[in-house]
Amino acid sequence: MSFESTVPGELGDPSVRAAEVPEPGAVTLVVPTFNESGNVRELLRRITDSVPARLPCEVVFVDDSTDDTPQVIAEAAQDCPFPVSVLHRAEPAGGLGGAVVEGLRAATSDWVVVMDGDLQHPPSLVPELVATGERTGAELVVASRYIAGGSRAGLAGGYRVAVSRGATWLAKSLFPRALRGISDPMSGFFAVRRGAVAAEVLQPLGYKILLELAVRCRPRRVAEVPFVFQDRFAGESKSTAREGLRFLRHLAGLRTASPLARMTGFGLIGASGFLPNLLGLYVLTGLGLHYVPAEILANQLGVAWNFLLVEQLLFRDRRRHRRWWDRAGRFALLANADLVLRIPLIALFVGRLGMGALSATALALVVTFVLRFAGTEALVYLPRRNRGNRSNRKNRRDRTARTARRAA
CATH number at residue 42: 3.90.550.10
Residue 143's beta-bridge partner residues? Answer: 225
CA distance 283 to 301: 12
Q: Among 234, 255, 276, which residue terminates a domain? A: 255
* pLDDT over 70 (residue 1): no
With 0-12 / 13-18 / 19 or more C-beta atoms within 10 angstroms meaning exposed / middle / buried, residue 378 is exposed
Residue 97 shares a structural domain with residue 209: yes
Residue 278 shares a structural domain with residue 199: no
Distance of CA 231 to the CA centre of its chain: 26
The band of 34, judged by pLDDT with boundaries at 50, 70 and 90, is: confident
The residue with greater pLDDT, 342 or 282, is 282
Position 258, amino acid: S
Evaluate whether residue 362 is within a structural domain: yes
Residue 232 shares a structural domain with residue 269: no
pLDDT in the model for residue 242: 65
Residue 136 shares a structural domain with residue 84: yes
* pLDDT over 60 (residue 185): yes
Q: What is the DSSP letter of 122?
A: -
CA distance 68 to 109: 28
Evaluate whether residue 282 is within a structural domain: yes
pLDDT in the model for residue 314: 77
* pLDDT over 70 (residue 96): yes
Evaluate whether residue 404 is within a structural domain: no
CA distance 96 to 121: 15
Q: Which of 116, 119, 120, 117 is nearest to 229 (CA)?
A: 120
The residue with greater pLDDT, 200 or 68, is 68
Residue 178 shares a structural domain with residue 68: yes
Residue 227 shares a structural domain with residue 293: no
pLDDT in the model for residue 26: 82
Q: Among 255, 286, 311, which residue terminates a domain? A: 255
CA distance 86 to 363: 59
Residue 60 shares a structural domain with residue 126: yes
Q: Domain containing 283: what range?
A: 259-387
* pLDDT over 60 (residue 25): no
Evaluate whether residue 408 is within a structural domain: no
Evaluate whether residue 400 is within a structural domain: no
pLDDT in the model for residue 298: 83
Structural contact between residues 139 and 192, judged by C-beta atoms closer than 8 angstroms: yes
Tell me the three state secondary structure of residue 277: helix
The band of 368, judged by pLDDT with boundaries at 50, 70 and 90, is: confident
The band of 179, judged by pLDDT with boundaries at 50, 70 and 90, is: confident
Structural contact between residues 247 and 43, judged by C-beta atoms closer than 8 angstroms: no
Residue 218 shares a structural domain with residue 348: no
Residue 181 shares a structural domain with residue 245: yes
Strand 190-193's sheet: what is its strand order? 2-5, 221-226, 140-144, 190-193, 111-114, 27-33, 57-63, 84-88
User: For residue 200, which phi and psi values (nearest 5 degrees)?
Assistant: -70, -20
Structural contact between residues 228 and 122, judged by C-beta atoms closer than 8 angstroms: yes
The band of 396, judged by pLDDT with boundaries at 50, 70 and 90, is: very low
Evaluate whether residue 344 is within a structural domain: yes
Residue 24 shares a structural domain with residue 133: yes
Q: Which of 253, 207, 241 is nearest to 114 (CA)?
A: 207
Residue 28 shares a structural domain with residue 67: yes
Evaluate whether residue 130 is within a structural domain: yes
- The count of structural domains within the chain is 2
Q: What is the DSSP string of 173-201?
A: HH-TTTTTT-S-TT---EEEEGGG--GGG
Structural contact between residues 127 and 208, judged by C-beta atoms closer than 8 angstroms: no
Q: Which of 197, 227, 223 is nearest to 212 (CA)?
A: 197
Tell me the three state secondary structure of residue 119: coil
Evaluate whether residue 137 is within a structural domain: yes
Q: Among 223, 255, 287, which residue terminates a domain? A: 255
CB atoms within 10 A of CB 357: 10
CA distance 110 to 228: 26
Mean predicted confidence (pLDDT) in 320-331: 85
Mean model confidence pLDDT for the chain = 78
Residue 235 shares a structural domain with residue 295: no
The band of 387, judged by pLDDT with boundaries at 50, 70 and 90, is: very low
pLDDT in the model for residue 165: 79
Most confident of 15-29, 100-114, 331-345: 100-114
